[in-house]
Structure formats: structure tokens, C-alpha cells
Amino acid sequence: MLISLITFISCKKNEKEVIEEDSEQSTLEDNNLAEISVNDIESIGSQLTENSSLTTFKTNGINILPIAPCATVTGIGTKTITVDFGSPDSLGCIGLDGRTRKGKLIYINKSPNNVLHYRNPGFNISVYSDNYIVDGNKINIINKTVTNTTPNSLPSVTDPGINLTWSISANVSITKANNVGTSSWISNRTKELINTSDPLCYKGQTLAIDWSLAQIKINGSTSGTNAKGESFVSTATELIKDHACHPDPSRPKRSPFISGTVAYTPGIRATRLINFGNKTCDFSATLTLKGQTYMISLK
């Protein structure tokens, strides 16, 4: 969801002054790049570990990722699953979301032996990277942990009366393509399956979640340093992603956030507020800066 186009919609007389005073958006793109990368890594892991086999990533009984059919997946059914997108010096693996990946992601289940699946309360997984590169950006996972925080008293029925929840912590550094800078991104987030009550998506504790129908909500804070060496803080509020939403038919595995906000503050400069809309399935959002609102299109 990198910002690809900004269309100014404000007609106030001081618009030009505001734009000239504080129009730099590359650091906001750094934050969006990290947002995409961390969520993408977690999404792949959630599906790979959900059934000790591939769930919505599975095709014709073969261990491949439809999001990236050229990736090799090993360790299915074990505590350690590795996804290999190809060596760093290869052409890489072009996914159905339009992104080119290289390197490896390693998911290690550190849960108790009787807690096997992403949907199970108490499930805990750590994620590691090995020369992992997406569209030329090298993503180094210093630490990333996902824990299922749903109460252990969760009824094992299709509609348990509460939503499944997870806590997600991440410490990631990203070296941007062509070595134009390195950013750090430290986050603590919560994730909620807001349609847990949908029996087509959540089928109880005995069957895998159908992630292709999942609707998730994300809240939490982030801090770090952008590629210009400037510190930042950001807050995600009620971010919602519908995995059944695919605005671009040429990239059928790319699902954007469709509502909620991210407030991003770089250094001592003004806060940028991105509003992802009212659940319309598209790549559109608005950016509010110093009282001015602009339409933006997200990749």
C-alpha cells in the first residue's frame, strides 16, 4: 500500500503554502512499506500453521503457495516450516499479488505440544528471515512473535460468542531497494478475527479457518526510524482488511485495508492521518495533513 498518487482536493487559499511547507511523503511510504511487509509475513504464517498443513494456500494437494506458486514449502506437519522463494541472486518468485520475493521465511511453533494450530488459544509462533527480499527491499526480522490471546475457555463450536484474538510484536529493519536507506519498525499490535461468528470462515477448534473469507481488525502502536534517519511514531486504529476483497483482478491475492486509520508522526513534523475509508473494496484512501485533506491511491 505504498502511496502512488496524491490528488489534492482542498480549495483553501493556503493550500499551496501547506504543500510547500510540509509536503515530504517518502517517510510515510517507509511506514507503509513496513506495514505491508509485516502484515504479509504474518498472514503467510497464519495460514501455513493453521492446520499443520496448507489451508487456503494449498492447491491440488501440493505444498505450494497460490500467492507465490514458485515458492518451495518444507516442514509441513512439523514445528518448523520454511518458505523458500529462491536465492537472493535469482530472479525471484513473482506472486499473484504482483510482488517479487526472494530468500526464506522460517516459522517456528513454540507452543506447548498440545497447542498445534493458529486458531488454538495459547498458540505461539516466532518468525525469522534469511535474506528475505520483496521488490528489492531487504526485510530483516530481528524478532517477530505471534500469540493467540483468545481465552482458554473458548467453546469449541462454530459460533463461540467471542472473536478470536492474537497479539503480534515485531522488530524489523528494512533496507530499501537500491540501498537508498534503512528503516527500523518496532510494533505491538492486536489482531481480531471479526467474523469469527461466520461458520464459512471459522468452523470451530477442530477445523481450519478459511482465511480467504476472513475479516480481520488491527490496533496498536509502532515506533522506529525512517530511511532518512528520522524517528517516528504511529498508531493504527480499527484497521480492517477483508481477505475476500481484491480490487485489482491482475493481482488477485492483494487485499488492502478498507477502513480504519493510521496516524503517523515523523520527528517534530505534523502528524499525517491516513483514513482507509468506509469498507469499500478499493485502493483509495485520504491523507489529512495540517487540516488539509487529499485523495491518495495506494499500491
- 132, 144 contact by CB (below 8 A): no
| Domain range summary for the chain, segments of one domain joined by + | 3-298
* Residues in Cβ contact with 223 at an 8 Å cutoff, skipping those fewer than 6 apart: 186, 187, 231, 232, 233, 234
Residue spans of alpha helices (H) in the chain: 15-21, 26-48
- 149, 165 contact by CB (below 8 A): yes
> pLDDT tens, position by position, for the chain (299 residues)?
444 433 444 434 344 444 444 555 666 778 788 888 888 898 888 888 875 443 333 333 344 455 666 888 888 878 899 999 999 999 998 887 888 999 999 999 999 888 889 999 999 999 999 999 999 999 999 999 999 999 999 998 999 999 999 999 999 999 999 988 999 999 999 999 999 999 999 999 999 899 889 999 999 999 999 888 899 999 999 999 999 999 998 888 889 999 999 999 999 999 999 999 999 999 999 999 999 999 998 86
DSSP secondary structure letter of residue 43: H
The reported pTM is 0.86
* Buried/exposed 134-154: b ≥16 CB within 10 Å, e otherwise: bbebbbbbeebebbbbbeeeb
* Alpha carbon distance 280, 119 (integer Å): 28
